[in-house]
Each structure stands twice: as C-alpha cells, then as structure tokens.
Chains A and B, each alone.
Chain A
Amino acid sequence: MFKKKTVIPSGVDTTKDAKSNEKDQPWAELGLKQDEYQSIKEILSRRPTSSELAMYSVMWSEHCSYKSSKIYLRQFGQKVTEEMKKHLMVGMGENAGVVDVGEGLAVTFKVESHNHPSYIEPFQGAATGVGGIVRDILSMGARPVAVMDQLRFGDVNHPDTARVVHGVVDGISNYGNSLGLPNIGGETVFDARYQGNPLVNALAVGVLKHEDLKLAKATNPGDLVILFGARTGADGIGGVSVLASETFDDEGPSRRPAVQVGDPFAEKVLIEACMELYENDVIAGIQDLGGAGISCATSELAANGDRGMEIQLRNVLLRDESLTPEEILMSESQERMMAIVNKKNLKRFEEIMNKWEVEYSILGKVLSDEKLVIKWDDEEIVNVPPKTVAIDSPVYERPVEYPTWIDKLNADSTKDLPRATDPSEIASQIIEIASSPNQADKSWITSQYDRYVLGNTALSMPDDGGMVRVNEESGLGITMATDANGKYCQLDPYNGAKLALAEAYRNVAMTGAKPRAVTNCLNFGSPENPEVMWQFKRATEGLADACMEAGIPVTGGNVSFYNQTGDVAIYPTPVVGVMGVIDDVARRIPSGWQDTGHNIYLLGTTKDELDGSAWAEVIHGHLGGKPPEVDFQKEMELADLIHGANIQGMVASAHDVSEGGLAQALVESSLRFGNGARIWLGELMERDGLDLTAAMFSESQARAIVSVGREDDVKFVSLCEARGVPVVRIGVTDLESSALEIQNVADIDLLELKSAHVRTLPELFS
C-alpha cells in the first residue's frame, strides 16, 4: 500500500481562496524554512495556494535551487579567460553544457548525483539516475552516445554493502543496457565513510550538429505546451524536497515511496521519438522532466524565455486518476519530456508521436506576460511569476568554519610508518595493493554493462578513459574520464579538488585526446554544518583555480549535499569529469603492453609522497598528512608530450601513474593484455633519491608510464628532453616472459597476479 508521508491539503485550493482566507500550511513538512515561506507570501502578496506551495517547495529545495552552493558555483563562470570560452557553445545553467568539437559537431555532457534514492532503493535509484542524466543530454538536442558512472560504497565487509552494490550495479546495467548506450568507464571506491551514504553519480555524453542545439525556452506566445512520454503517477512525490534535501536519520531506509521507478523501454522510445522531432525541426523548445516534474519544466521553460504559460492541469495523462493537483505538479514520474511546439508543426509532431506510440497531451500555451497560470478545470490554482519559482530562489551564505581537526590530521603523516626493506615484502605489498577492493580489477561490475552497442566504442574500462567515435566518416572522437579522490580531499579539499581535475585531465591525455572541457558533481555532507561548508568552499575554489590553470572551462554540473548520517559526513567527493577531443580514434592509445621488446619509460618526477596513498590505506590502514603536490604546468607538459609523440606514432601504450603508484600502474599495464616485462628501478631511485617503497608506491602527480618501440627510442627521449619532461627508462616489455620481473625485488607470476587482481570483487559479491 502506498502511504503518503507528506500531508498535502486535499480539495482544490484556488488563488481566489488564497486571497480571501488565511490558513495553516504545511510548509515545514514540505521542507521550506519559515523565512522562505514568508518570502513566498511577499512575492504573491497573499498566501500561496497549496499547489503554489508545492511548486515553490520543490523548486526552492537545495537539490533544485542550489541555494547553499550558488555563491561558490559562480566562480566557475568567473575564473575563465576568453581562450577557455573558445569552444564553449552553452555554459552552466542549462540542462548540460555544450562544447564545439569541430566538423560542425558539438558534444554535450554532464554528471549528476542520485545518491539518496540509491541508498533507499538501490536498483531503482541507480536506474533512474541513468535515465535522468540521459534525458538532460537529450533535451539539448543531442543523441546520447555513452554513459559512465562514479560509485562510492561503504566498507566491503559491512553487511549492508552487498545490498547496495548489487542493487546499484543491476540498476545501471538494466537501465543503461536497455537504452542501448555503451558504458565506457567510471569509478568504484569502497570506504566505510560512505556507509549509509553511497554515492551514485551518472554521467552521460551526447553528440549533436551545431544547428540542432535546443534550449529549454518558451519564447513565442501562442506556441503549444505539450507533455509527452510516460504517464504521470504517484512516484517520486516529494522526492526532491524531502529526500534529497534532508539528512538521513538513524532509522535508515523508510522513505521508499518517494523513489522514482524507471522504465528504460519507455525512455529508449522517447529518445528515438525526440531524435525524429529534432531531425524534422518540429519543436521550438524542450525540457526534460526530472526532479520537481511539471513544476520545474513549466516554470523553467517560461522563465528562460522571459514569457509565461497557461496550463490546464486536467489534461495531464495520469496513471493514477486519484492524484491531486499538488501531487501532479510534484510527481517525478520518469521518461517524460515537455516540448514547446508552434501550431503549424502540431500535425508533424503528432505523426511522430503516433509512429513511436508515445502518448502526449497538449497542456496549454505560451503567454506573452511573465506569469505562470495553472488551472484545474475552471479553477485557477496557480498564478505566479515564473522567474520567482525557477530562477530567483533563495541564496544562502551559510556559515563557514575551519575544521580544527584537520591540523591534527595533516600532522599525522606517513613518515613514521614502517617501510619494507626486504624485497619479498615489497613484492607481497604489490600484490596486496593490487588485490585490495579499491585497486582490484572491476570487471565483475563492468562486464555487466554493454560496452559495444552503437559500434563506436574505441576505448572503455579498464583503459584510462572511455573513447567514442563521433564522426564515422572522419574518425573524430572524444574521450571522457572522471576522478575524485575523497581521501585527498579529506586531507585538503582545495588541493584534493585540484588533484581530481589533474587525474581526469591526465587520463584523457593518456588516450591520445586533448582535454577540452570539464563537468563536475560535488558530493558533500550537510551544508548546515559550517565545517562541511568550509570543505565545499575550499573544494570549489580549488577546482575553479585548477580549471583556470589547465585552461579548460566547467560547462555544468551538479551539487549533492546532505550526504551524511548523524554527524558523520562523507569524505568531500568532488567528482570531476574531463572531455577531450581526438582527431581520429584510430590513433587511440591503449593502456597495456601488446608488443615485445618495447622500452618502458617513466615520465615525470617521483617524490616521496605516500600520505593519503593506497599504500598507506592498504598496508597500514592509515589516513593522514597532506596529499601529493599538484602542478598543472607539469600536467600540461606531460599531456602535450604524449599528444605530440602519439601524432608521430611513437606511443604504443600509455598509462597514468596515480593510486597505488608505479607498482599498480605496472600491474595494470601488464594485465591489460596479459603480457610480461622486465623492470629495473635503480636509475629512478638514484635520480629522484627514493627508497624502494617510495619508488613503487608514491602517488606523485604528472607521471605516466609509456611503452615505445625500439626504433623510436632516440626520437622519443630527445622529444622528452626538448619539452623538459623528466624521462627514465625503467624496463622493457617481454611477451615471452610470463612474469612481471622487477629486478632486485621479485618475479611476479602473471597468472598469480591476475588471479589476485581479478578475484577480489567476485569473492566479495558473487
């Protein structure tokens, strides 16, 4: 039985009633604060009707309005140069950013969170997370071409973790695979700090011709407002305000009815129908329905177009005839879109809907005046200025407080942790790290996702980035990579956020693409906690500065607050996605060794940087100190070098060195195709003044390992020297060898290594 948690007054409350009578309204239950309710009254010069109250409550929720984060997000639009904006066609504020990639094509991409629903109901939460972000991409006029997901789960040994892991992976698999979108990469991290607050971020990428760009705007008075797709039901009501904007209490998952339910088949049909609408130039504006449903779509379309709208709410096609007007306005039923259609195109619109058997109903029309009028039969139940709902939501400058605990944490560095001196101990640490849940092979998850569909996937997991071809004639392609190291951010949110960009940037560069633009999904604890707000402030400053240094702009993103249970917040987790462009995907660089006798080089400088590392976590259960230094000048030099060398055909493989250090990079490059190598570290240790532990496990930035054919040796080394990128030969690939032979350390048998690396997740979750 569906039990309503939120009490909404029944019966129809009209604007006439609201003018003539005062009454107690459930603003608090709907998640509004007293002063917010007061300002609604001031805007309207009367109390809101219950429908208006429903609309304001969802649209002014943290999730929809960004009221706590707005003042910080502005930096992403301010810390930019003209050069950075060169390729930017649509920036922040729209459903997703749009970036020119050449050849008349543009790419739109965005990452969004669906964290809270995925804890309550992991399968549907994750599934509708994919569905929602894909509709955002679709609403820009683009064909969605790929998805990725960024997952954070609790401790692998906690009894509840398997429930969440299975549900989330199944949900993504079921929805994404049924939509026919290749899943080209992502992240999976386990840490007790995400217990009870798993993060499920979903990223989607779409491709469009420049002229097909669509905006969520209603500009022409008299145009029709049409709702199409799935029918409206009772799912997700109050999801936005009650779920995403409140901290979980200790009771755990009890708000099940507020999670939406997805139908990927309906969405697949919706995608194809929209593609046909775009091809035939039938629509004037379009908006997807996600959080806040019809309230959001109507008010945003009208507000963005400086217009108004008149809507007959009775025309909404319902799954459940008993829904009240308030519920219809708040419903977050999935797989729905709203189009603005000129009357002359109505026939064509209807033909396309009928072809795809998509239901639609005309709700009303665009008005020249900036007022949003919603009727229920003859009664007027909403009459508000649309911008007050969609744009002029409250802005908070929440208290910020430096967390004093961070000094102690920073002081507790890894320098006193014991280091192995015996080579066999180093060898067993390499295997221990490679088989730890966070560094282990993730194919138990990724093999549940379709990476082939659409036939354009050039790289996917476990390569450094996901690459898809966007033009079949020319081979033009894009790479996407995402990253966020919550531990680094816990130690230092400013540099942690910079490091997230640095790694995503480096990953994109390792595939042969040139980084071009950024998206982000900022996952944090409660904004009502001043220390969390400090973390948020520092992380956004770090990311904005890093983008400036790297010369690539943020195109859009998402904020997820309230990821905490009681007083315990998650690690600050600013997921950063970087999109890069490659002229021809035939020049892609794989991350593993496939040829014998190639020289292996380590690029960049290794410092003794073990704080916050996988080594500290896995071997010592330690988190403290300061994260590795980040220097975008060096990152860009490394990226440019790889790009230049690859264009000359010198790079047979490239793999970034990050979590787990050089050791983990060697393990991954070796296991990618199951090929061995002989490695020596003497020269590196001497040049950079390192002991064996630092040489193997340090997480210094701006580093990569590359394999280069013997014939290109001299050319490659002189290119590195000319560009000032430190280079040292550390080994040679050997396909005859069935081991990763590290001189003076150990010969690690590849089959044993593979078994250790691969079996961890199946053993935990199968």
Chain B
Amino acid sequence: MKIGVITYPGSLDDRDAQRAIKLAGGTPVPLWHASDDLKNIDAVVLPGGFSYGDYLRCGAIAAQAPATKEVIKKAEKGLPVLGICNGFQVLVEAHLLPGGLIRNEKQHFVCRDQRLRVENKNTRWTGMFEQNEEITIPLKNGEGGYIADEETLKYLEGEDLIAFRYLDVNPNGSMNEIAGLTNSAGNIVGLMPHPEHAVEPGFGPDTPVATRSGIDGLRFFQSVIGQVVG
C-alpha cells in the first residue's frame, strides 16, 4: 500500500506523516509539490505546516501546485485523500471540501491534546473507529476556525459529512464544533487535529495511563490501508 505525502515549501509535518504511514504498515512515498507525478500511489496525505508561508490565505497557493491539481483530478475518481491541518486548508481552498478556515477565535496559536468525537465512521480514513467513538488527537493551529454559510452547514449536517467534532473545548471557535469533514463519497477527509502525532507510544498525547502514550491517530492510516488491501 503506497501512500503519498506531498511536501510543499513550508510543509512541517510531512516527515511525521511518512512515519505514521510506516507505523501503520504502509509504504510512504514522498511527493514534491512542483511535480504532477503522483508515482502510482494508492492514497495521499496533504500534511500540516505553513505551505508557502501561508501567504495570501492558508493553503491558497498550495491548492494551485501541480501536485495538488493532480490530486484533485484523482480525488474526483476516488483516490483516498487525507488533509491534516494545513492540508485541510488546502482541500478547502481546492474546493474538495466546502467552507473556510479562519484565525482562531482567541487570536492565538493553540497546541493541546484535543478530545474529538468520530461522527462518521463510513469514510476511507475512519473505518477502524466505532461510530461516535471519543478519541484524543493533538491539535496545533493558528487558523483552524471552521466557517460556512447556513445552507452549507445544513447540508453537512444533513448528509452526515461532518467527520469529527470537538469535545470538551472548542479550541478555535469552529462552527458546530466541526473539527473535520468528509465528502459524500467518503474518500476525502480533512481535519485540523494531527492524527500523525498520536501514532507512537511515548510521543503522542498524555493519557490517564501513561505520559504521552495516546495512539488514537494510528487508526486513520490503518483504516485506509485495511480497506484498500481488503
């Protein structure tokens, strides 16, 4: 199972996404933003970071990169795509997912171990979760406030396209506590929290059992691998 990870100038968590894919049993394939060669991958991750320095708007320039344009084409044909943080912003800017992401309500960057509810387990990236399972995934962003017009929100709620919702605390002022979305085909998932930082015991979020032992993020990658292989 080959999963691509696109590196844009300013990508930060690209190597972390590669590590997560490896730990989940997949083969990470580094992809370069300037090339439209996706190297026959079976799925792709758009990683976190500040692509192109977040100039213009977060993700706006990356949405125009040759690699992204190719991803858009293939996503429409069903390629599983996971956009994490800046990658979610890219998916929104590329109109693969609706709405927008704005500066956090409190105007500060926020880094915290975030509780989430899995609202939709019927996607390519969430199959290994239970419906409504509560998980902890690190969140770190400055512009993660999800917004959409009323009609879009109604559509998202009605069609079950909200993949994850914030629990306990709404860290960035997102509408309807939206942490992540999927498309109606379920192959595209975008979220602000970082599943690739909850994959390895000792380096994830704290749990009541032991310091930094949370690995809820691993199942994102196992889900897509399990489904494609199976």
Q: Which residues of A contact B (CB under 8 A)?
A: 170, 173-174, 177-180, 263-266, 268-269, 272, 356-357, 446-459, 469, 472, 585-586, 588, 590, 592, 594, 673, 766
A650 to B15, CA, bound (A): 35
Q: Which of B75-83, B125-133, B179-187, B200-208 contacts A (4 or more CB under 8 A)?
A: B200-208
Contact in complex: B9, A357 (CB < 8 Å): yes
Contact of A458 among B12, B19, B212 (CB under 8 A): B212
B219 within 8 A of A: no
Interchain nearest-CB distance for A111 vs B (Å): 22
By a CB distance below 8 angstroms, the chain B residues around A265 are 9-10, 50, 52-55
Interchain nearest-CB distance for B194 vs A (Å): 7
Interchain nearest-CB distance for A262 vs B (Å): 11
Besides the contacts A179-B12, A454-B15, what 18 more A-B pairs have beta carbons closer than 8 Å? A174-B142, A177-B142, A180-B13, A264-B50, A272-B9, A357-B9, A448-B110, A450-B140, A452-B197, A453-B16, A455-B16, A455-B19, A455-B200, A457-B203, A458-B212, A459-B211, A594-B210, A673-B206
Interchain nearest-CB distance for B29 vs A (Å): 18
Contact in complex: B13, A453 (CB < 8 Å): yes
Q: Which 6 A-B pairs have the closest CB atoms?
A: A265-B53, A180-B12, A590-B211, A455-B16, A452-B197, A178-B50
Interchain nearest-CB distance for A186 vs B (Å): 14
B111 within 8 A of A: yes
By a CB distance below 8 angstroms, the chain B residues around A586 are 202
A588 to B206, CA, bound (A): 14
* Nearest-CB residue, chain A, relative to B139: A452
| CB within 8 Å of A: which B1-57 residues | 9-10, 12-13, 15-16, 19, 48-50, 52-55
A188 to B154, CA, bound (A): 46
Contact of A454 among B9, B16, B106, B202 (CB under 8 A): B16
By a CB distance below 8 angstroms, the chain A residues around B19 are 455, 472
* Nearest-CB residue, chain A, relative to B142: A177
By a CB distance below 8 angstroms, the chain B residues around A673 are 206, 208, 211
Contact in complex: B53, A263 (CB < 8 Å): yes
Contact in complex: B108, A173 (CB < 8 Å): yes
Contact in complex: A448, B209 (CB < 8 Å): no
A448 to B12, CA, bound (A): 17
Contact in complex: A178, B110 (CB < 8 Å): no
* Nearest-CB residue, chain A, relative to B12: A180
Interchain nearest-CB distance for B151 vs A (Å): 34
* Nearest-CB residue, chain B, relative to A178: B50
Interface residues on B, range: 35 or more
B155 within 8 A of A: no
Contact in complex: A455, B109 (CB < 8 Å): no
B112 within 8 A of A: yes
A240 to B140, CA, bound (A): 35
Contact in complex: B53, A178 (CB < 8 Å): yes
B196 within 8 A of A: yes
Contact in complex: A264, B53 (CB < 8 Å): yes
Per DSSP, chain B at the interface is loop
Per-position 1/0 for B191-230, Cβ under 8 A of A: 0001011001011001011111000000000000000000
A450 to B55, CA, bound (A): 20
Decide: A448 near B111, CB < 8 A? Known: A177-B140, A265-B55, A594-B210: yes
B138 within 8 A of A: yes
Decide: A452 near B138, CB < 8 A? Known: A174-B109, A180-B49, A447-B110: yes
Contact of B111 among A179, A452, A472 (CB under 8 A): A452
Contact in complex: A585, B202 (CB < 8 Å): yes
* Nearest-CB residue, chain B, relative to A453: B12
A472 to B200, CA, bound (A): 11
Interchain nearest-CB distance for B170 vs A (Å): 15
By a CB distance below 8 angstroms, the chain B residues around A180 are 12-13, 49
* Nearest-CB residue, chain B, relative to A176: B109
Contact of A455 among B111, B197, B206 (CB under 8 A): B197
Interchain nearest-CB distance for A501 vs B (Å): 27
* Nearest-CB residue, chain A, relative to B203: A455
* Nearest-CB residue, chain B, relative to A454: B16
Interchain nearest-CB distance for A181 vs B (Å): 9
Interchain nearest-CB distance for A147 vs B (Å): 13
Contact in complex: A173, B109 (CB < 8 Å): yes
Decide: A453 near B140, CB < 8 A? Known: A178-B53, A269-B9, A447-B111: yes
By a CB distance below 8 angstroms, the chain A residues around B202 are 458, 585-586, 588
Contact in complex: A448, B109 (CB < 8 Å): yes
Interchain nearest-CB distance for A188 vs B (Å): 16
A268 to B111, CA, bound (A): 20
Interchain nearest-CB distance for A689 vs B (Å): 37
* Nearest-CB residue, chain A, relative to B16: A455
By a CB distance below 8 angstroms, the chain B residues around A454 are 15-16
A452 to B10, CA, bound (A): 16
A586 to B110, CA, bound (A): 27
Interchain nearest-CB distance for A146 vs B (Å): 13
By a CB distance below 8 angstroms, the chain A residues around B49 are 180
17 A-B pairs, CB-CB below 8 angstroms?
Answer: A173-B108, A178-B10, A178-B53, A265-B53, A265-B55, A356-B9, A446-B111, A448-B109, A449-B109, A452-B111, A453-B12, A454-B16, A457-B203, A458-B203, A588-B211, A590-B211, A592-B211
A330 to B214, CA, bound (A): 50
By a CB distance below 8 angstroms, the chain B residues around A472 are 19
By a CB distance below 8 angstroms, the chain B residues around A448 are 108-111
Decide: A594 near B111, CB < 8 A? Known: A452-B197, A456-B203: no
Interchain nearest-CB distance for B73 vs A (Å): 25
Contact in complex: B15, A447 (CB < 8 Å): no
By a CB distance below 8 angstroms, the chain B residues around A446 are 111
| CB within 8 Å of A: which B162-186 residues | none
By a CB distance below 8 angstroms, the chain B residues around A269 are 9-10
By a CB distance below 8 angstroms, the chain B residues around A456 are 203
By a CB distance below 8 angstroms, the chain B residues around A263 are 53
Contact of A594 among B53, B108, B209 (CB under 8 A): B209
A452 to B210, CA, bound (A): 17
Per-position 1/0 for B119-148, Cβ under 8 A of A: 000000000000000000010101000000
By a CB distance below 8 angstroms, the chain A residues around B112 are 447
Interchain nearest-CB distance for A582 vs B (Å): 12
A19 to B105, CA, bound (A): 64
